[in-house]
Amino acid sequence: AAAHPGCRVWRRTRRTTVHDLVHEARATLGRVRAAELLAAMAGERPPLVIDTRTHTDRVRFGTIAGSVHAPRTVLEWHPDPANGDTHPARPGFHTPIVVVCNGGYSSSLAAANLVRLGFTEVADLVGGVHAWRAAGLPLVPPDHSHLDL
């Protein structure tokens, strides 16, 4: 796709673009803003927050307290019971899940894959951790102790 000079309007091409992939993904899931996620985390049925960012970005920017780390490269393997070696925090198929990345783009693609695997209440964080930080919401240092096992 090519942008018109001086604006952010993308022309449609014959091939699928990354913009198409993100648009298609977002049509299959909910999206929450930072303040909505914070409120949901304090609610009666808090979502499992899955942070797909790299170790480096988690150290650099911090993490949302209570989030679970499942790197983007292995996200689909961690929660799917068909894997046989699931993450200890594996959610049920009807557990609310919010996927988080840095800017809210790769989390859309990741969350859509969780929907395809059968998870029914999946959303991603609009703007990612950058939006969380911009809203002045708290971040904590990451716990990477599981990497030492």
- Give the pLDDT band of residue 101 (cuts 50, 70, 90): very high
Choice among 27-36, 39-48, 81-90 with the minimum mean pLDDT: 81-90
pLDDT of residue 146: 60
- Give the pLDDT band of residue 148 (cuts 50, 70, 90): very low
Structure tokens at 17: 């673009």
Distance CA 137, CA 62 (A): 11
- Give the pLDDT band of residue 91 (cuts 50, 70, 90): confident
What does pTM read for this prediction? Answer: 0.86
Per the rule left: phi > 0, alpha: psi between -120 and 50, beta: everything else, 62 is left
